[in-house]
Structure 1
Amino acid sequence: MEEKNKGLNINIEHYTGEKPIEVVYRLGDAAQAQQPLATKAPEKISVSGTISTPYEWLSKRIDTVDQKRANVVVNREKMTIQLTVNEDDYYNKNTFTGMVEVSETFEKFGINDGEKGWIPAKLGQFLRLNRGLFEDKEKCMVLVSNLKNFNAKAKAEIEKQRDPSGSVADVYRCQVESNLPKSFTVNMAIFKGTAKQPIEIEFDHYLTNGEVFLQLVSPGANEVMESYRDKCIDEVLDKIKDIAPDIAILEV
């Protein structure tokens, strides 16, 4: 028996018709043999988190770590601790960084930030939007009003000044000292995850192209930051020393 169907040829010898014959006709290419997966280099791990991150990882992996090939780098100025394991192995070197981070609100204020200068009216608007941080809302609104009128009053004083040798900077300084309070207090958290606390903020000023900019200064906040930073870092370092005394700890 011979049957032809669209290019398919079937030859069956001695077929008597007693039993049906099933023919399976598969279209397409045969599946290719599966290729073995390519060998890849180990993936490096780099993790950043809270100040305790290096210790938390180390405490769960201490039995896998060669302490003589690991180090901890401490940068108190940047408020970071970085743990490196397999320090001499390009493919297996992993780093774990812990950071002490200031709160978003504290950062927006720009307290003790030498690069942050506020236009008085802009600062007034900012404080008005954040009046919830003030214990006395009325004092906040008086301060906001003084800030919004600051430039007008200062320029009026400059116009009245008759002495040609007088300094514009002196006029602005007088306005800062007379028109604004010596300091004001807000309640905010300095670091993420910490409780709010009263922060006393003072005004400083500088001139650029005849315009005055105010800077917010808080010696008290600076002291709290230094104390808290060192306390947090030292607590983590003590924990690392307890479980891994042979890891090199480097201060930079």
Structure 2
Amino acid sequence: MEALIANITELLSDNTIFNMQTLGYYGQGLATTVQLVFLALVIGLVLAVPLAIGRGSKRKWIKLPIFFYTYVFRGTPLLVQLYLIYYGVVFVEGIQDTWLWLILEKPFYPALIAFTLNTAAYTTEIFHGAIKATPRGEIEAARAYGMSWGLMMRRIVLPSAFRRALPSYGNEVIFMLHASAIASVVTIMDLTGAARFVYARYYAPFEAFLFVAAIYLCLTFAILFLFRFLEKRLLAHLKPASQ
């Protein structure tokens, strides 16, 4: 019995996911996931604001290309987009002879491009809907004060739209965090990639993927807490006054 317990203990110590080496893999995967998602969201948000404004333009040559872009990227799976960008870059004529190839040959950057374009499409539609929902009285009041179109957008429309879009945008952030798990299919060592590596090395699928699921769960709760805090701060004026 003692020999059996000793063998089991030795086996667990050799294959457990909670040793310094495997935790190092998970730490590297966590850093890669956070970096990839953060950069995609920031760049996507910067792109989405002018696209959302253009999406509501009365000029067809402005709004139709934006509509087509958002329709395509929201209507096709992110995994397909990732494959097309990651593998399709190789077939662009002459790109391997330029300085861009030094960047695009690394899997991180094609994945970043795919995630950025995808989240920018969703965020554009979120902000477009929020801008359309701006109360007409706010716009008329801004015009009555003599504000120009640009000043009105900067001081009235966009801040108001951002507050209305906050709950939906929080869901988009969580979606991007969960969708980032597919980055491992293009050899990126993110959280899911680390779990795959640990599984292949130690043959412990349940421990490896349950541990990663717990990390994703903690990140999700942290994002939820952050957006709930922002909603309470930015939407406090919509709450009825306490009696």
Which one has a larger percent helix, Structure 1 or Structure 2? Answer: 2
Higher-Rg structure is 1
Asked which structure has the greater RCO (Cα within 8 Å, sep 6+), the reply is 2
Which one has a larger percent strand, Structure 1 or Structure 2? Answer: 1
